[in-house]
Amino acid sequence: MRNSSKERNTKETQIKLSIDLDNYVESNINTGVGFFDHMLTLLAFHGKFTLNVEAKGDLYVDDHHLVEDTGILLGQAFKEALLDKKGINRYGSARVVMDEALAVVDLDLSNRGYLVYNVTLNRNDINGFSLEMVKEFMYAFAINSGTTLHINLMYGDNDHHKVEAIFKALGQALKKAVCIVDDRLPSTKGKI
């Protein structure tokens, strides 16, 4: 079974997270930031994996610590759930439209965390979720999961639609990358 459960407890956040890459059931996500909960739910739904998150943090300061630490923990859990990566497709790409917005995500589960982020957002926040945290979350996830992650927002007007397209595209790309296609390690090096 490709699954993982993790906890992260700091002076700023307390997070419990579990992921199951092979059995999708409705996710249960509660971070205290409604828009972020919505995005994580979309990520799991479109990735066809189960994600459960119970998170508390110093939201009286702002949402930075909670969102970043969730990205760190999700990345660590994702990496652990992939075991030795034997047989996975490794690469994933997705183009997702959300009304007028188009997001393109390309990724490689290479064990070399890297983020390319070409996204322009206009608002400061959506219902208490700081839009600058989209990049911080993606960076934390990429580095801690060992994913080379390229996110390109091609166009769009509505920031809600843009962010939603990004999270959906990430889910779709991850679904393709974790798919088991054979019984070999997907690298000519013999190691990822």
Q: How does pLDDT run along the chain (192 residues), one tens digit per residue?
A: 999 999 999 999 999 999 999 999 999 999 999 999 999 999 999 999 999 999 999 999 999 999 999 999 999 999 999 999 999 999 999 999 999 999 999 999 999 999 999 999 999 999 999 999 999 999 999 999 999 999 999 999 999 999 999 999 999 999 999 999 999 999 999 888
Question: By the 8 A CB rule, do 39 and 27 touch?
Answer: no
Q: What residue type is assigned to position 15 of the chain? A: I
Could you give the domains of the chain?
A: 3-178 (3.30.230.40)
Task: Please give the Cα distance from 57 to 121 (Å, whole number).
Answer: 25
Task: Please give the Cα distance from 108 to 115 (Å, whole number).
Answer: 11
